[in-house]
Amino acid sequence: MERNPMRRQLAIMRQSLFDQGHVDEQFVQLEELQDDANPNFVEEVVTLYYRDSARIILNIEQALERKPFDFRKLDAYMHQFKGSSSSIGAKKVKAESTLFREYCKSGNGEGCMRSFQQLKKEYATLRKKLGAYFQLARQAGPVETASRPK
Amino acid sequence: MSGNGASSSSLNMISGEDVVNNNLTALVVDDSPLLRLLHDIHLKKYGLKVQVAENGKVAVDLFHLGASFDLVLMDKEMPVMNGVEATKELRAMGVTSMIVGVTSKDGPGEQQAFMEAGLDYCFEKPLTPEIISFLLEELNKHNNKD
């Protein structure tokens, strides 16, 4: 049990990321790769994810403005986005990506639009929560070991 | 997961310390900078010397220039030259490195096509510590036989 109040708050925040389904086991695996040689590894990977995601989201937005929809292209973009979301353990975003791809495969344009809006909401929420988490983590100092969520 | 006889029951749950090896080299071929970083750090943790390539053509060119690697992690979907093409080229060149396909969740037909290009194994990305341990164990077995 963390005695330091900031570390306690960080632990609570971290646990809620899992409890609320924002991240999954893959996030723990990222944390386990973080060490003295790579002390900011998780944040670096997540930052790369944001950069990747911004590009892909823009591509999807532009593709959704063109009618008729090129479902193959949309699916290919979302395939990329799902891959990188899986890599950081972005559970809800990954789930929404899967749904979007199902709509692409069935040629359901309305479904794609709805799913994409939901995906952007989940992504924005994840960014906000991870942003707050990393900010507190920087203030709290290095955490010694990764631990599996309860 | 598919591979030459690989199944989840044959995966050895070996800790990183058991397979740390300073002699093995790896090439991570992926167009995603995120996946390149992830697999790079992951493999380095096991003591491998790692290089990265952003597509299949860069990987093939490295081998043409005389580079060799014990392990190649090959993404499937890449611009310029995809993983299937790159794997076929490497095998045609006589490359005997362990080539492991790393894919997003594709249909079984797509993974099969990738395997038939000449992979030793094919796994879903990102690779887990258990899978990396398994691959390094297989590499060590293979190197000990030589």
Q: Does A84 reach chain B within 8 Å, measured CB to CB?
A: yes
Residues of chain A with Cβ-Cβ distance to B133 below 8 Å are: none
Rounded Cα–Cα distance for residues B89 and B29 (Å): 14
The answer as to whether A79 is a domain residue is yes
Give per-residue pLDDT as tens, B89-126: 999 999 999 999 998 766 667 788 899 999 999 998 88
Give per-residue pLDDT as tens, A8-38: 999 999 999 999 999 999 999 999 988 888 8
The answer as to whether A146 is a domain residue is no
Question: What is the per-residue pLDDT for B110?
Answer: 74
The one-character DSSP state at A22 is: S
Residues of chain A with Cβ-Cβ distance to B45 below 8 Å are: 33, 35
Question: What is the per-residue pLDDT for B15?
Answer: 44
Shortest distance between the Cα of B124 and any Cα of chain A, in A, equals 10
Shortest distance between the Cα of B3 and any Cα of chain A, in A, equals 21
Q: What is the band of B8 on the pLDDT scale with cuts at 50, 70, 90?
A: very low
Size of interface A-B (CB pairs under 8 A): 48
Rounded Cα–Cα distance for residues B129 and B94 (Å): 29
Nearest partner of B3 among B95, B146, B127, judged by Cα = B127
What per-residue string of b and e applies to B24-39 under the rule 16 or more CB within 10 Å gives b?
bbbbbbbbbbbbbbbb
The answer as to whether A150 is a domain residue is no
Least confident of A4-8, B8-12, B43-47, B79-83: B8-12
Nearest partner of A25 among A115, A147, A108, A122, judged by Cα = A147
Q: Does A54 reach chain B within 8 Å, measured CB to CB?
A: no
Residues with Cβ within 8 Å of residue A67, at least 6 apart in sequence: none
CB–CB of B38 and A45 under 8 A?
yes
The answer as to whether A53 is a domain residue is yes
Q: Does B126 reach chain A within 8 Å, measured CB to CB?
A: yes
Nearest partner of B73 among B132, B17, B14, judged by Cα = B132
| Domain ranges, residue A57 | 5-32+40-135
Least confident of B62-66, B86-90, B117-121, B133-137: B133-137
The answer as to whether A51 is a domain residue is yes
Q: Does B35 reach chain A within 8 Å, measured CB to CB?
A: yes
Distances (CA, A) of A94 to A117, B5, B58, B68, B105: 14, 30, 30, 36, 12
Q: Is B28 left (phi over 0), alpha (psi -120 to 50) or beta?
A: beta
CB–CB of A83 and B41 under 8 A?
no
The answer as to whether A142 is a domain residue is no
> Percent of chain A having pLDDT more than 70?
92
CB–CB of A26 and B32 under 8 A?
no
**Residue A91 or residue A140, greater confidence:** A91
CB–CB of A84 and B35 under 8 A?
yes
The answer as to whether A120 is a domain residue is yes
Nearest partner of B77 among B29, B42, B40, B117, judged by Cα = B29
**SS3 call for B124:** strand
Supply the CATH number for residue A12's domain: 1.20.120.160
CB–CB of B126 and A45 under 8 A?
no
Strands B121-124 and B2-3 turn out to be antiparallel
CB–CB of A33 and B42 under 8 A?
yes
Question: What is the per-residue pLDDT for A4?
Answer: 87
Check: pTM over 0.90? Answer yes or no.
Answer: no
Rounded Cα–Cα distance for residues A10 and A30 (Å): 17
Number of domains in chain A: 1
The answer as to whether A68 is a domain residue is yes
Give per-residue pLDDT as tens, A32-80: 988 888 888 999 999 999 999 999 999 999 999 999 999 999 998 998 8
Asked if B32 and A80 count as a contact pair (C-beta separation under 8 A), the reply is yes
**SS3 call for B122:** strand
Residues of chain B with Cβ-Cβ distance to A81 below 8 Å are: none
